Structure 1
Amino acid sequence: MSAVDTSASGTSASGTTAPATPTRAPRRRQLASRARLAYVRGRLRVLSVVAPRVAGAEAFALWCTLPGGTGRRKDYRPHTGEVVELTSPRGGRVVAEAWGDGPVVYLVHGWGGWRGQLGAFVGPLVDAGHRVVAVDAPGHGDSDPSVLGPRRGTLVEVMEALETVGARFGDPVAVVAHSMGTTAASMVLSAGSMRADRLVLIAPNHDFADILGEFARTLRLSDRVQTLLRAALEEFAERPLSDFDLGPLGADGQLPQTLVVHDRRDKETPFAVGRSVAAAWPTATLVATDGLGHQRILRDEATIELVVQHVTAR
């Protein structure tokens, strides 16, 4: 996944907080975002002519830059659990947190998120007799930075973090994943490095060809730079980008019984994506919500109850 962080800092050139009325602040942030985007577009346009490989490398760095915003740092945990520090395959420290006793359920956050985002599921799942384990991927939450550096992340490292937790806590009865975490969880289960009876995909992300196309349009990347970016992504992942597309992953019916929950008004991932994934997977059932968006769905009581019912169903 990718993000061009165009959030405004709210500070003046002198470093002091710039005074702004509530009506002017959003306008200033919007103007700052547009200015940053215009600068990035202009720089990449020039580099694509004089130094296309440099442009490709910068596009790769932007793709791996984690999004800003406070929404992804919301903390819905009922209380602090047992915090465990593990070592990822690439040597960084991965932080996991566990609550309760019983069959294990893993919680997997999305792009730019962290374990606290899914904290509202902890209490109900523990009350249902489960040990709940949530993990921060490298570059996210309290884990060490990605191998690409601070404020960076990769889907591959999200997958590796889940596998690391699996090696510590064992196979789960269920995995509950959000956004880009749905691809990570599905990839790990599809590869057979972890087994689960149930899977929950909340607001699953769209295919990577679509994500790459949207990214290229936003930055107005040339065809040459797009080709270089795709090659860099596939070299890092050591596989074609199409391998990460959710639809084909579960089309053979080999993945667990799956609940897909997607909001009709999700502005980050269109509802059509969840509907398409559910239609492609013989093991999947789609439940639509309306008005919860991409983030509020994680604290909605009806959604949480539905997920617990799916996890505990015989």
Structure 2
Amino acid sequence: MSFAGLVWLRATFLVLRVVAPRAADRRALDVWCTLPPGARHHRLDARPRPGDVVRLPAPRGGGEVVAEVWGAGQADGAPVVYLVHGWGGWRGQLGAFVDPFLAAGHRVVAVDAPGHGDADAGFMGPHRGTVTEMIEALEEAVRAFGEPAGVVAHSLGTTVAMAVLRDGVPADRLVLLAPNPAFAELLDRFASVLWLGDRAKAHLRGALEDITGRPIDDFDVIPAGADGAMPDALVVHDRGDRETAHAVGAAVAQAWPNATLLTTEGLGHYRILADARVVEAAVAHVAR
């Protein structure tokens, strides 16, 4: 968001809080669910070549999500690895993992959630998205292509992967790339930056819980595997990540008894997805 855009939003909420509190509530939800610019543009495409594109039904909104599959010609029973993008991302960002996993004997499935990449718009309309739709997109892919041997997830995609596995989908291995902070922390930061006020912040939390059908604390990655319920995990986080602090990944690895932390330097939040050392470590973790 530009500085001018931030100033305009702050002014908007200051006025609405006084003259139209309900409008402030609605506007807060709309801004929260607005995808960043470029969510439907292929900013980084690390795919070695196109795979087989399959369109699957999105449970909400009547549209379709996209799954791209590599290795469909391998012998039946090849273990499946799912690649899960983050907020505003798309499947091509994780394309560097495709060939190494194929070489290790896996089938690879990468998914675009509603509003992202080549998927249709979500139930809230164009340029909008929710974590619930991202979760449902991965669930649809698992129904279509089978249970995962491994899941490689980036940023908010780590919450998506955690939620799907927690709700009963088994997996052998999990790779978390730059996991995101707790949702309550994100909500506090969002409300502070935009000067929402207590009423709009409380309404936003309630609206999000209505959409997800769960308390937002249920989507926190750190406690989700603290009891050892998650698959063996490799957590990869760059020390200079400006989107999500390295301390978050370190806290996940410390809290989960079956997690290992790999710290990188100089890769930030996105270059970590195409780094040869990171890809090699992820494939070794899943394929061992």
| C-alpha distance in structure 2 between counterparts of 1:182 and 1:38, whole Å | 31
> Where does 1:168-179 land on structure 2 (aligned, <5 Å)?
168-179=144-155
Q: Aligned equivalents of 1:154 and 1:129: distance in 2?
A: 33
1:199 is paired with a residue whose SS is strand
Is 2:82 the partner of 1:106?
yes
The one of 142, 152, 164 aligned to 2:128: 152
Task: For 1:136, give the aligned amino acid.
Answer: D
Task: Give the whole-Å Cα distance in 2 for the aligned partners of 1:72 and 1:99.
Answer: 19
- Name the % identity: 59
Q: Distance in 2 between matches of 1:140 and 1:62?
A: 16
Residue 95 (structure 1) aligned with residue 66 (structure 2):
yes
- Distance in 1 of aligned mates of 2:42 and 2:129: 14
Q: Distance in 2 between the 1:35 and 1:131 partners? A: 46
2:138 to 156, 162, 167: 162
Q: Which residue of 1 aligns with 2:14?
A: 45
| CA distance in 2 between partners of 1:221 and 1:95 (Å) | 35
Question: Partners in 2 of 1:152 and 1:129 — Cα distance?
Answer: 36
Residue from 43, 48, 61 that aligns with 1:78? 48
Alignment counterpart, residue 213 of structure 2, candidates 217, 220, 238? 238
User: How far apart are residue 72 of structure 1 and its match?
Assistant: 6.9
Contact 1:174 1:199 in 2 (8 A): yes
State the SS of the aligned residue for 1:173.
strand
After superposition, the CA RMSD in angstroms is 1.2
2:68 partner letter: E
The residue type equivalent to 1:302 in the other structure is R
| In 2, Cα distance between equivalents of 1:44 and 1:64 | 16
Indicate if the aligned counterparts of 1:53 and 1:228 stay in contact, CA closer than 8 A. no
Q: 1:67 aligns with which of 28, 36, 41?
A: 36
- Structure 2, unpaired ranges of 5+: none
Equivalent position of 2:185 in the other structure = 210
In 1, Cα distance between the equivalents of 2:255 and 2:31? Answer: 31
TM-score, normalization by structure 1: 0.88
Structure 1 stretches of 5 or more lacking a match?
1-5, 7-32
CA deviation string 1:138-186 (max 9, x = no partner) = 0100011010010111001000000000000010100000000000001
> Is 1:54 the counterpart of 2:23 in the alignment?
yes
Highest CA radius of gyration, 1 or 2?
A: 1
Stretches (4+) displaced over 4 A: 69-72
1:73 offset after TM fit, Å? 2.6
What amino acid maps onto 1:39 in structure 2? W
Which residue matches 1:201? 176
Q: Does 2:160 match 1:184? A: yes
After superposition, what is the alpha-carbon deviation per residue over 1:239-291, rounded to whole angstroms, capped at 9, x for unaligned? 11101011111111011000000000000000000001111111111110011
Give the whole-Å Cα distance in 1 for the aligned partners of 2:206 and 2:162.
23
